A and B are shown apart, each in its own frame.
Chain A
Amino acid sequence: MQVPAQVEYERAGSVEHALTLLARYGPAARVLAGGHSLIPMMKLRLAQPEVLIDINGITDLCYINLTGTQLRIGTLTRHAQLLESSVAGEHFAILHDAERVIADPIVRNWGTVGGSLCQADPSEDLSAAFAAMKGTMIIHGPDGSREVSAREFHAGPYETVVGSSELLTEIRLPIRPGGGSGYRKVSRRAGDWPVVAAGAALLLDGDVITDAGIGLTAVGATHFAAAEAEGFLRGRTATPQTLARAGQIAAENCRPVSDQRGPADYKRHLACELTTRVLGVAVARARGLTT
């Protein structure tokens, strides 16, 4: 029987209240969002916080809003809410592609967007999706709020730049006309973590790729991104050959390791293939084709 070790529990009613509690308890405290990573880790003693600060009562951190140029997602938004959001899907097909294959419908009911990002699992899906979309994270702390780019959010496996007295509150995604995006994942069975997954967000001017974002997960890509392949694509015409070459470059520059989900060379092959395919999906969507 797996049960967490003894722990104290506080319930935060607002962002300010959560910050006060975080300041009071310091590094001994952990934020509790959906708990779908933290509670399993506590059962295994991989995490042993002295105090949990439950943010589930801060319902105003649960939203998906469209401003003129941005989609804003509150940290406490559940995976299921993102999947159901037509405004999110309309502007970022990649979000619906990814959410459809993150865990299973029941886990998606409680797991949160912000909790996933803060967990920073090296195989996490949304980190790759937000890297592709070049999102921005809003972090609140004792001295106010700061913005961190998705490309600077992760400090390493299971580590982010969110300090022990800080709270991630929001993710912002830039909306740009002429864009197309997608997400493709290979996993061992339905509802499982990826063996490898790739996300792409492209901007097209006619046939020319004016900006490219490529996210990769589970292959040790720096900041979940394929920066070299992005650089290669910028300014090039979107032909099948160009996309395939970008896939190769992405695969050459990641660092997969062999584990129970597969050997490293297989993962590298998947990184190439999935990147190529998802770039094709993003191009087709930017051209207004349904895929």
Chain B
Amino acid sequence: MKVTLTVNGTEYARDVEPRLLLIHLLRDELGLTGSHWGCDTSNCGACVVWLDDTPVKSCTVLAVMADGRRVLTVEGLANGASLDPVQQGFAQCHGLQCGFCTPGMMLTARWLLNNNPHPSPYQVREAISGQVCRCTGYENIVKAVLWAAEYEAAEHGAAEHGAGG
């Protein structure tokens, strides 16, 4: 079956079996291996990507369900050479060790900050509660997301100040 979807701003058309999972379309057909494939049971969140405007577990979505939709993966987070503040936060706060959970964590973090630019530590934990990290103990992931929130608030403040002055 023919599917056409836009991944990180690029349109792709592929002929796929209806049973193909979105995670396998992204990794095996499109070569976008940034999204990871972990538990396969909708529990770990390593496979999280955005479908249109919200993150989903792509091991639990068929590729055909993404037909005509937009997908955002970790490969699309940075703006050219400049890393997304969430990515910078993970680098600054040592938010990853092995990195397996990181793409999914960052995509959820980006979604959280778009909807709630000033989350409490509790709200960050709640947002990533469907995602598992076996390395960090979560503490530095929470710090990384809060770092990004502060960075964006400062940027925003500077932009407003600039416009006003």
Contact = CB atoms under 8 A, between A and B. Distances in A.
A6 interface: yes
Nearest to B108: A106
Contacts of A35: 60-62, 65
A43 B1 CA distance: 20
A2 interface: yes
A80 interface: yes
B19 A4 contact: yes
Given A1-B40, A3-B19, A6-B19, A107 B57 contact: yes
Given A6-B18, A43-B40, 16 more contacts: A2-B41, A4-B62, A9-B64, A32-B62, A35-B62, A36-B42, A36-B60, A40-B42, A54-B65, A80-B54, A104-B130, A104-B131, A105-B127, A106-B48, A106-B130, A191-B129
Interface of A: 1-9, 11, 32, 35-36, 39-40, 42-43, 52, 54, 56, 80, 103-107, 109-110, 190-191
Interface string B61-104: 11011010000000000000000000000000000000000000
8 contacts: A36-B42, A39-B62, A40-B42, A52-B18, A104-B130, A104-B131, A109-B55, A109-B56
A7 B127 contact: no
Nearest to B56: A110
Interface of B: 1, 17-21, 24, 40-42, 45, 48, 51, 54-57, 60-62, 64-65, 67, 108, 126-127, 129-131
Contacts, number: 79
Contacts of A191: 129-130
Contacts of B57: 106-107, 110
Given A4-B19, A9-B18, A107-B42, A190 B62 contact: no
A11 B45 CA distance: 27
Contacts of B48: 106
A41 to B, nearest CB: 11
B130 A40 contact: no
B43 to A, nearest CB: 8
A25 B131 CA distance: 38
A106 B131 contact: yes
Contacts of B67: 11
B71 to A, nearest CB: 13
Contact of A105 (B19, B51, B129): B129
A143 to B, nearest CB: 30
B18 A39 contact: no
Nearest to A43: B40
Contact of B129 (A32, A36, A56, A190): A190
A182 B45 CA distance: 30
Contacts of A103: 130
Given A9-B62, A36-B42, A39-B60, A105 B17 contact: no
Given A4-B19, A40-B60, A107 B130 contact: yes
Nearest to B50: A109
A174 to B, nearest CB: 31
Contacts of A104: 45, 129-131
Nearest to B129: A190
B46 to A, nearest CB: 11
A56 B51 CA distance: 13
Contacts of A109: 54-56
B58 to A, nearest CB: 10
Contacts of B42: 36, 40, 107
Contacts of B54: 80, 109-110
Nearest to B57: A106
A103 B126 CA distance: 11
Contacts of B21: 3-4, 39
